[in-house]
Structure 1
Amino acid sequence: MNNSKKVAGVAGLASVLWLGLAAAIAASQRHLVFNPNVRREVHRPRSSGHRTRPIVLRAKDGTKLSGWLMTPSVVGPHPGVVYFGGRSEEVSWVARDAGKLFPGMAVLAVNYRGYGDSHGDPAEQHMVADGRMLFDWLCERGHVDPKRVAVVGRSLGSGVAVQVAMERAVHSVVLITPYDSILAIAKRRFRTMPIQYVLQHRFESVKYAPSLTAPTYVLRAAFDDIVPHSHTDLLVAKLGRLHADEIVPESDHLNIPYLATTQARIAEFLSAQFGLPQP
């Protein structure tokens, strides 16, 4: 009898701890999925190949979003790119490197809600809705060819780019260290937790990938312990129109977008898709 009570007590304690951990995960989702960085990575960002100007746009609900618009100095209309950053990424560095990454293209890089100088709190539904708004806004610029606008997403932002590409007439897609879903990665990390019942921000790109009709270029890090290649494999297998799936030598999850090799590959792919001279 005593042994039965002990077993029941241990089981009850384990259940309480398990539920407590699940509740903690639910409460800390903002930090687990998002890690807003408010500090500007580049103090005075300016592209050597563009006119660069800071912009403040309002989301559909009035939230202020801050970023940069880079425009080629020659007369347009130009092809365009909307860039979506990673989990901890403040995007001022894109304005600095736009001349190498996106030569001859108009570029819009805006921080997510809660990142940089953007107001509000990050959430999947807001990121996707804001992403659609940013795409539409760039297409409406008089110096941009609305039929030649691409989306580029890095890591967490690959999930935003995929959903925007599913709902808009995107010309081309670049995905840097993309994943099948944040839910799948969370399940891998919290194997004994009922994560599927508490995770709100799932970014299930693998569900939307078959709907993508634009040529999609995937770039992986050679060493990636944040998005294992197995999670990228599952996404790539579902993409509606895969252009290429490449590994950038000597790259990891954090340094891949800053490497000259990565930037040259993206510039070459987009220039070819847009019919621009090769950089």
Structure 2
Amino acid sequence: MIEKLSNILTFLLVAYLGFGLLLYLMQRHFLYFPTQAIQHHYRQLSFNTDGESIKVTVLNTGKERAIIYFGGNGETVDNNAAIFSATFTDHTVYLVNYRGYGGSTGQPGEQGFYSDAQFIFDEIKPEY
């Protein structure tokens, strides 16, 4: 009886550890699930950094102040362009598509995000 219980507990422990290992190895697929570009009529810029092309949708051009928006996980920022345009009428709004999202090239990742954010900020800042 004790041996049978020991075998069951060993199996459960191995299954649990195996599942944990699988989650660890697949975490990139759970965190980043890139989206395709969508068709829209808004102005689109392309910033080239680190060998990648980052697509940025620009709304309400010519304003004195700006907002740079990076969407949430899995968000296609262009889907919300009309809302941002109507909500922030006194700002030029830059909707940034992460690497791999919305027509931007490359693979999503934390370091690329930081690098792209700093690059785009530095490019846009002189206008404001």
Q: Which bin holds the TM-score, normalised by the shorter protein? A: 0.7 to 0.9
Q: Distance in 2 between matches of 1:19 and 1:39?
A: 38
CA contact 2:59–2:85 (8 Å) conserved in 1: no
Count of residues in Structure 1 that have an aligned counterpart in Structure 2: 128
TM-score normalised by L of structure 1:
0.42
TM-score normalised by L of structure 2:
0.84
Hey, what does 2:116 align to over in structure 1?
A: 130
Could you give the per-residue CA deviations for residues 49-108 of structure 1, whole angstroms, max 9, x where no partner exists? Answer: xxxx2111123x2221112123434xx6x1110001122211113433333122121221
Letter in 1 for 2:16: W
Root-mean-square deviation (CA, aligned residues, Å) is: 2.0
Q: Distance in 1 between matches of 2:41 and 2:32?
A: 24
Q: Distance in 2 between matches of 1:64 and 1:127?
A: 13
Hey, what does 1:273 align to over in structure 2?
A: none
- 1:209-224 to structure 2, matched below 5 A, reads none
Hey, what does 2:92 align to over in structure 1?
A: 106
Say yes or no: does 1:44 pair with 2:40.
Answer: yes
CA contact 1:69–1:108 (8 Å) conserved in 2: yes
- The Cα shift of 1:39 comes to 4.4
Bigger relative contact order, structure 1 or 2 (CA pairs below 8 A, ≥6 apart): 2
What stretches of structure 1 of length at least 5 have no aligned partner? 47-52, 145-279
Identity across the alignment (%): 27
What stretches of structure 2 of length at least 5 have no aligned partner? none
Say yes or no: does 1:34 pair with 2:32.
Answer: yes
Say yes or no: does 1:91 pair with 2:77.
Answer: yes
Distance 1:57 1:34, change over 3 A: same
Hey, what does 1:17 align to over in structure 2?
A: 15
Higher-Rg structure is: 2
Q: What secondary structure sits across from 1:131 in the alignment?
A: helix
Say yes or no: does 1:57 pair with 2:47.
Answer: yes
Letter in 1 for 2:40: R
